[in-house]
Structure 1
Amino acid sequence: MSEFTHVVLGASGHIGSVVVSELQRAKIPVLALTHDQATADRLISSGIKAQALDVMETGALRSIFRGTRRAFLLNPPADPRGDTDTMERATARSIADALDGSGLEKVVVASTYGAQPGERIGDLSVLHEFEQIVERAGVPTAVNRGAYYFTNLAPLLDAAREGMITTPFPEDLLMPMVSPIDLGKQAAARLRTPTADVGIRYIEGPERYTFLDVAAAFSDALGHAVLLQKIPNDQIEASFKELGFSDAAADTYARMTRASVEALERPDDPVRGDIDLPACLGGLVSSADGSGDGTVLY
């Protein structure tokens, strides 16, 4: 019998690391899975039981699942220098295939607001398919759909220091947003509920924000005015290419952005986390400046 009862995929990421910490705090034996050995070694040195594994190694992943009872499933983001849609669909299928014959009693799946059928609309279609193929594996499946991550705002910090940020989203679009810390806490909590707790749950922060609010929060955190500029719709794809995205990835992300605006989900009864936008950006700025306590709230 394995010494672990729970396994966490993406354990070194913004969400997975919180899941691991929450389970450890609850005294639940957990195995943290990461993609590379250096990251696994770093986790091990900090006292976390960890193992490096490529999720494309379906058989090895199934063997790990067979030795545990419950699993947090996160489909890893692909390198945007390649074809993200194709790569992420492949990893999602491998993870789902590893559930066959695993004997797991329950899984919690990380998904996204706006998940929907479609082609080449990034996470929206990939994670919708992931939800479905995991459920078809026959393991009781709890799906946590998370709103727009505050971590997506981190790359804007340098531009905000210069006084101008850009966005492909309409400036006044009221968007659900969330801290991955809150997503990790909710995933860990749901891993501990009875197997009858299945289906889709929506998770977002305490309030909804526009990108005008984002610019204002950066202004407050940095102590100077930060303006906002909307990227024209016909230049969204080019803006991703300027960031180093491949042609295929830029096309996928541009399609995902447009689909997110057209079918923005605003559920009436989401689970609301505790971390808000000012706390997120304040933590981001203080961490980057070395003036914080080491805790990054995003």
Structure 2
Amino acid sequence: MTTDDIAVTTPTGRVGSRVVRLLLQAGVRPRVLVRDPGRLDGATREGVDVRRGDLTDAAFVREATAGARTVFWVDPTPHTSPDPVETSARTASGLVDAVRAGDVERVVLLSSVGAELRRGAGHIDGLARIEEALDAAGADAVHLRCAYFFTNLLQDLDGLARGELTTAFAPDAPMPWADPRDIGDVAAARLLNGAWRGRTVQAVHGPEDLSFARVAEVLTEVLGRRVRTAAVRDDDVRAALGAAGLHPTAVEGIVGMAAGTRDLVPEQPRDVVTTTPTTLAAWAWTTLRPLVGAAAG
């Protein structure tokens, strides 16, 4: 494959960086769309074709993806954006235009469990909008419906250091969890496979479904300190986010991701295709444990 075959967005993110590394190891020189090339390490910069720009600039995306056979698209929209669903859809418009024009043949989209609902899942609805737009544009597309990231636990290291795992999900309800590195593995495999056509939905469920209560048990063992769940109500989350100055639409986008998917049974079953290997305990031992130790002083 040449530099024009594969384009990767968010190449410094948790999933994107893994994808870039695997493509380089496969002998591919990918095209990377990045706002700040300085965030790429020197060896990676030498191995990729850098297109510098902002993914929120549709004209940049349209130009930077033109001629790429396959694009790995990761929505860069922060959950804190004033209107996250609309922003997600608008940000992908340059890519959708490139598909319509025939400048991009295939897209691997980092989507989410819950996008199958299409509406009512907070900011996840933005990913549903992107799925729908790519399908309508006629793209050969793989929509990776990804599980809850292990790395979401990094958002409250201080709380974990105090032994508290806060969640707006039902503590005893199991749901799929995954290591972003494993998601990167699945994405890279799809990008490197030149044979698939049409629209495919592929879930990435991680090795097992976990409730937050079970996560607390795993973390208790790995961290060597008791961790307990602390459930918070949607209205409490709304109040806290509003007090932090977030726009009401952003607040609902965040609250809706948990509220809208609490009773969700993922559209794709757990099987050999959707199950990835890294366990929460293995990830927590290598990644979370030292960070929580540092936070605890």
Report the Cα distance in structure 1 between the residues aligned to 2:222 and 2:27, rounded to whole angstroms. 37
Q: Deviations over 1:258-288 (max 9, x none)?
A: 1111334263234111111112222223442
Question: d(CA) in 2 for partners of 1:168 and 1:84?
Answer: 19
Per-residue CA distance 1:233-274 (angstroms, 9 max, x = gap): 432322434666433211221122111113342632341111
For the Cα contact (< 8 Å) 1:65–1:102, is it kept in 2?
no
Letter in 2 for 1:94: G
Structure 2 distance, partners of 1:224, 1:249, is: 34
The SS at the match of 2:261 is: helix
Aligned match of 2:40: 43
Q: How far off its partner does 1:164 sit? A: 1.6
**Secondary structure at 1:272's aligned position in 2?**
coil
2:261: which partner in 1? 260
Q: Answer whether contact 2:58 2:92 (CA < 8 A) is retained.
A: no
Q: CA contact under 8 A between 1:80 and 1:244: conserved in structure 2?
A: no
Q: Which residue of 1 aligns with 2:174?
A: 174
CA–CA distance in structure 2, aligned partners of residues 119 and 175 of structure 1: 18
Match of 2:224 in 1: 223
Offset, 1:200: 0.4
Percentage of matched positions with identical amino acids: 26
Aligned to 1:122: 123
- Pick closer, same or farther for the CA change 1:106–1:43 going to 2, 3 Å: same
Check the 8 A contact 2:120/2:256 in 1, yes or no.
Answer: no
Normalising by structure 1, what TM-score? 0.87
Taking structure 2 as the reference length, the TM-score comes to 0.87
Q: What is the rounded CA distance, in whole Å, between the counterparts of 2:58 and 2:215 in structure 1? A: 41
Structure 2: unaligned runs, 5 residues or longer: none
Over the aligned positions, Cα root-mean-square deviation in angstroms equals 2.3
Counterpart in 2 of 1:283?
Answer: 286
SS of 2:71's equivalent in the other structure is strand
Structure 1 residue 76, shift from structure 2 partner: 1.0
Superposed CA offset, 1:39-79 (max 9, x none): x1231623332332212332332222223221111111326
Inter-partner Cα distance in structure 2 for 1:277 and 1:43? 27
State the 1:215 CA deviation. 1.2
Equivalent position SS for 1:131: helix
Between stretches 262-271 and 67-76, larger displacement belongs to: 262-271
Question: For residues 79 and 144 of structure 1, what CA distance do their matches in structure 2 show?
Answer: 19
Task: State how far apart, in whole Å, the 2-side matches of 1:53 and 1:266 are.
Answer: 35
SS in structure 2 at match of 1:261: coil
Partner of 2:56: 56
1:161–1:222: 8 Å Cα contact kept in structure 2? no
Q: Secondary structure of 1:195's match?
A: coil
Offset at residue 142 of structure 1 (A): 1.2
Q: Measure how far apart 1:25 and its partner are.
A: 0.9
Residue 266 to residue 278, structure 1, CA distance change in 2 (3 Å): farther
Q: What SS does structure 2 have at the residue aligned with 1:12?
A: coil
SS of equivalent residue, structure 1 residue 238: helix
Decide whether aligned partners of structure 1 residues 166 and 290 sit closer, same or farther in structure 2, where only a CA change above 3 A counts: closer
Deviation at 1:30, TM superposition (A): 0.3
- Report the counterpart of residue 84 of structure 1 in structure 2: 84
| C-alpha spacing 1:213/1:269, structure 2 compared with 1 (3 Å) | closer
**What is the distance in 1 between the residues matched to 2:15 and 2:39?**
17
- Answer with 225-234 or 169-178: which moved more: 225-234
Structure 1, residues 97-154: CA drift from partner, whole Å, max 9, x if none? 233324323211111111122267211x111110111122222111111011111111
Q: Equivalences for 1:2-21 in 2 at 5 Å?
A: 3-21=3-21
Distance 1:113 1:73, change over 3 A: same
Distance, in Å, in 2 between the alignment partners of 1:266 and 1:203 is 12
